[in-house]
Each structure stands twice: as C-alpha cells, then as structure tokens.
C-alpha cells in the first residue's frame, strides 16, 4: 500500500540566515495491508516529519513515496494538488497530535465531514459519527459545540473519530494516544486493531510503550542526523 | 469538496501571461490550469501583481502577452481575448462571477436588493416576475439576509450585508467560475468570519471553481485547495495549500508565513 524509496528531507530557513539542516536521509520502507509500522526514535529524529511527508504536507528533496490509490500506484512527491486531495479524500487518513479544524464548526460536523465528502448520506454519516464519539466516551452534550474549547484529551478523541470513521486504506497516526486516559487508550488500540483487520496499512508514532507493543507489526528505528549548517 | 474535482479537462488554462504598465511590470509569465471544483488562492503583498493578474484572468485587462483559455459547458475552448466583446460580456454575466473587494463596485446602488439579484437573472433571459422574485428571495435567504429587506436599497445595508448581497447577485445565474478580490477586506473580524463560513459552504455545495486573491493567509488556508505566491509580479511558489503554508520553500513565502501573528 505504501512504498517509500530513498527519501531525503532537509529544511532551509531563509529567514534565519539560510541555516539548513537535514532531517531524513535515504529513508526506505514498505507497508502492506494489515501491517502497522511504528516509527521509533528520540524526539528530533524526524518521525513527525516523515509522517507529514507521507501525507504530502511536507515536500521531500529526493526519493519517491508511492501510495496505492484506486488500484493505481501514485507517487505523491510528483502528484498534482488535486490528485493529492483526491488521495486524502478516499485513501489516506491522518490523525495529528493536535486538532486543527475550522473554528465555529461543531464536533459532530468535524467528525462527519470526511464521510459526507465521500458521498455518504447525511443521516448515515451523522449516526456513525455519534456512535464512534460515544465509543470514545465523548459526552453527548459536546456533540454540537465547536471543539476549540474542549480539553486536550477531548480534542484528541474528536481528531481520532474524524480520522478513523471513513475506514481509509492507509492511516497515518501521530501520537494518537498522547493525552488520553487508560480507558480511551484502550479504545484507540481496538480501533487500530480493527483497521488492521480490515486491511489498512498503518504508519504510526506512539510514545506509550504499551500501545506501541500492542499494535506494532514492525518497527523503523530512526535517529537524529548531525545538523549541517 | 466537489466530486467534480476528478474531471480531467481544465476549466481554465493560462499560458505565459504577462502584463506591463508601460515599462512597469504587473505580472510576468504566469501559467496554470484550473480544474472544475478547484479553489485557487493567490497570495502576496500589495503591489505583488496579484490584482493585475486577477484582472487579466477575468477578462477586464487584456494582457501584454499570453493567453487565457476558458472551456465552456459543452467542452469547447475559447481564448477569452480572441472572442468578441459581446461574447466576453455574456461570459462574465453567465458562466462567470466577479466578487469585488468593495461591494459598491459590484452592486447597483440605485436599485433594491431584490432588483440587484433579479437584474442578473434578466440579463440571461429570465422574464417571469414571480419567478425572479422567488429566486431572489431564496438567494437572500441563502446569504442570510432578512427577506424583509428585499425592497431596500443596498446603501442602507452594512458592509457585511452588502458583500453577501454581492455574492448572491453573482451566484444566482449558477456560474461555474468565480473571481474574488479580497472578499473579506475591510470587514470587521466577526463579520469576516461569518462571510467565510458562508463562502466555504457555498463553494462546496455548488462545486464552484474559484480564483481568490487575498493577502490574508488564514483566509487562503480556509478557502483554497492550492496556492500561488506572488512577489514583484512573479509566481515564486505554488502547490497544495497546506504544503505551501506548513513547508514553504521560497524565501519570500517563508517570510510571509513567519510574519503572521497568531492570536
């Protein structure tokens, strides 16, 4: 489902004297349906950068990232914006550490939106969204409020619901359990196991060792690179 | 997002577009394709050439060089500066909409709100008074203007209401392509937010293609699928909106992004 070939990623900060540093060098791996690759390494090793590159949110300097979309292998490092948006709509889901949503939109709308974008009937989408939010122990009184005022853990669960609801074939998870209590961590582990069972290819970052060991089928060890000025 | 996004024919194709004001450069060698359902944001500071480019694209300012090809509803391509003036006018009235920064430039101030909407319908052949009136009412409702104001002059409206009326006037003929120049400029933040919500909803619901010029990166992030960053008449960077804003490559884009104050 995912094939990463020899990617490099560096950042050049033109506003800070043109300092340049390398974050990823020659990274390659493959993830098949039903597998969960866990990115392992200290902070600053480029785990989140790699995940963002897989979502085409960051641009790589070199190499290829192939994603299977509608029975075609697409290199997202070369794809047009509209192709990437189509891939994000139906193939790749991304759960970030922090909720970045549009203000003034209710939690329920945030969660149901990707399903509606796939053409799912409104009633069905909202019903499924409610079921998943309940499973993640979000109190019903919050459903119709904008998540901006929610606690960190609540926002994270809204984010998880939004990412898991459409059943994407590829899932990218950036510390989805970071601010959750044991009960909700367990729900997320179950959601990941269900996604694997239906054949999703998953790449994730998990600081919680218990979660990591529960879901990982493989590890990618990462280390921070020497920075070059 | 509109399912139309997957259609393979571009709605608008721009090749080698440049405009000079005498020896002064307006915009230089701009080229891109815009597909159905796509929202393209053009960002940059004032004087970067983004408004000049928008004028060239929307058939009001003939470019010094280059071409703008529009594909009509039957799939036929038209070079918009090669067709007759009347054909161009018809296009601007039917298939296209232009939302001006100052609603006073896009509205007729001497006639009622209802007439502002009805006038555009009559320009494309609507004649039945009852039909026009009820369509005008439905559009006022869509843009959240109280139906009791239908016979009032736009000069009695607030800035935000005028802007919403301008949007209704543009959308009533079901255009396929909308040009917007700083549509939220000059409005209070709360009014701006409401207008953005409205625009976002309408664009998705109607599957519109939009080219929007703004200096506000938050507006660009909220509304556009992809971005073009302009500096001194040149497009210095372009790509997927979140990629350009989260991982800007060009020094000027990095400067723009790092200059935004977060509340």
- Contact across the interface for B246 and A58, Cβ inside 8 Å: yes
What is the per-residue pLDDT for A112? 95
Most A CBs within 10 A among B8, B240, B263, hence the mutation to make, goes to B240
Contacts of A11 in chain B (CB under 8 A): 247
- pLDDT band at residue B230, thresholds of 50, 70 and 90? very high
Domain B3-95+177-258: give its CATH superfamily.
P-loop containing nucleotide triphosphate hydrolases (3.40.50.300)
Q: Of B43-47, B90-94, B125-129, B166-170, which one has max mean pLDDT?
A: B166-170
**Which chain A residue has the Cα nearest residue B241?**
A81
3-state SS assignment for residue A175: coil
Distance from C-alpha of B109 to C-alpha of B104, rounded to nearest angstrom: 7
Q: Which residue of A has its CA nearest to B223?
A: A102
Pairwise CA distance, residues A196 & B240, whole Å: 29
> Can you tell me the mean pLDDT for B88-110?
90
Taking residues A142-170, report their average pLDDT. Answer: 93
DSSP lists the bridge partners of residue A24 as: A9
What are the tokens at A115?
Answer: 């399903």
Give A13's contacts in chain B (Cβ within 8 Å). Answer: 254
- Residue A84 CB contacts under 8 Å (≥ 6 apart), including other chains: A56, A76, B240
Instruction: Please report where in the chains the tokens 């040149």 appear, as a residue.
Output: B234
pLDDT digits (tens, 9 = 90+) for A108-143: 999 999 999 899 999 999 999 999 999 999 999 999
Residues of A with Cβ-Cβ distance to B193 under 8 angstroms = 103-104
- Distance from C-alpha of A84 to C-alpha of A91, rounded to nearest angstrom: 10
Tokens of A204: 């994730």
Q: Is residue B88 scored above 60 in pLDDT? A: yes
Mean per-residue pLDDT, B252-257: 93
Measured in angstroms, the CA of A214 and the nearest CA of chain B are apart by 32
Give the residue carrying structure tokens 């359902």: B37
Distance of alpha carbon A222 from the chain centroid = 18
Chain B residues touching A117 at Cβ < 8 A? 1
Residue A219 Cα to chain centre, angstroms: 17
Provide the chain A residues 68-97 that lie in CB contact (below 8 A) with chain B.
81-82, 84-86, 89
Mean pLDDT computed over B162-184: 91
Please identify among residues 179-208 of chain B the ones whose CB lies closer than 8 Å to any CB of chain A: 193, 197, 200
Q: What is the ipTM of this complex?
A: 0.91
Hey, is the C-beta of B128 within 8 angstroms of any chain A C-beta? no
Q: Which of B97, B58, B94 is nearest to B199 (CA)?
A: B97
Give residue B2's pLDDT.
40
Q: What is the pTM of this model?
A: 0.90
Domain borders along chain B are 3-95+177-258, 108-174
Sign of the alpha-carbon torsion through A171, B206, B13, B43? negative
């Amino acid at each position: 489902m995912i094939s990463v070939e020899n990617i490099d990623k560096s950042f050049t900060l033109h506003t800070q004297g043109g300092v340049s540093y390398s974050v990823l060098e020659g990274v390659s791996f493959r993830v098949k349906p039903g597998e969960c690759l866990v990115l392992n390494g200290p902070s600053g090793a480029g785990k989140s950068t790699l995940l963002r590159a897989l979502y085409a949110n960051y641009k790589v300097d070199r190499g290829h990232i192939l994603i299977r979309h509608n029975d075609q292998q697409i290199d997202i490092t070369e794809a047009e914006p509209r192709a990437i948006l189509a891939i994000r709509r139906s193939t790749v889901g991304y759960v970030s550490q922090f909720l970045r949503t549009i203000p003034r939109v209710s939690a329920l709308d945030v969660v149901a939106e990707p399903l509606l974008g796939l053409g799912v009937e409104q009633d069905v989408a909202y019903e499924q969204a409610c079921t998943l939010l309940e499973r993640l122990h979000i109190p019903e009184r919050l459903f119709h409020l904008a998540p901006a005022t929610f606690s960190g853990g609540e926002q994270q669960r809204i984010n998880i619901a939004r990412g898991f609801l459409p059943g994407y074939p590829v899932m990218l998870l950036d510390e989805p359990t970071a601010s959750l209590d044991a009960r909700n961590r367990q729900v997320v582990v179950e959601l990941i196991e269900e996604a694997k069972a239906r054949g999703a290819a998953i790449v994730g970052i998990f600081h919680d060792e218990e979660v990591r060991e529960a879901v990982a089928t493989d590890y990618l060890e990462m280390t921070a690179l020497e920075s070059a000025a | 997002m509109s399912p139309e996004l997957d259609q393979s024919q571009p709605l608008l194709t721009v090749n080698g577009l440049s405009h000079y004001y005498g020896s002064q450069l307006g915009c230089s060698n701009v080229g891109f394709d815009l597909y159905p359902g796509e929202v393209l944001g053009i960002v940059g500071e004032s004087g970067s050439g983004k408004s000049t480019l928008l004028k060239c694209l929307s058939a009001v300012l003939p470019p010094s060089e280059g071409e703008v090809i529009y594909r009509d509803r039957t799939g036929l391509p038209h070079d918009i500066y090669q067709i007759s003036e009347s054909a161009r006018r018809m296009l601007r009235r039917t298939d296209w909409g232009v939302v001006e920064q100052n609603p006073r430039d896009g509205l007729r101030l001497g006639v009622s709100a209802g007439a502002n909407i009805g006038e555009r319908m009559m320009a494309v052949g609507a004649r039945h008074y009852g039909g026009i009136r009820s369509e005008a009412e439905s559009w006022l409702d869509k843009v959240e203007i109280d139906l009791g104001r239908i016979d009032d002059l736009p000069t009695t409206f607030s800035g935000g209401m005028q802007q919403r009326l301008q949007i209704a006037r543009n959308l009533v003929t079901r255009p396929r392509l909308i040009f917007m120049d700083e549509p939220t400029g000059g409005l209070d933040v709360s009014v701006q937010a409401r207008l953005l919500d409205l625009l976002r909803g309408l664009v998705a619901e109607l599957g519109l293609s939009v080219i929007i010029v703004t200096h506000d990166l938050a507006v660009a992030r909220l509304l556009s699928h992809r971005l073009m960053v302009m500096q001194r008449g040149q497009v210095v960077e372009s790509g997927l909106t979140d990629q350009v804003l989260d991982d800007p490559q060009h020094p000027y884009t990095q400067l723009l992004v790092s200059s935004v104050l977060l509340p």
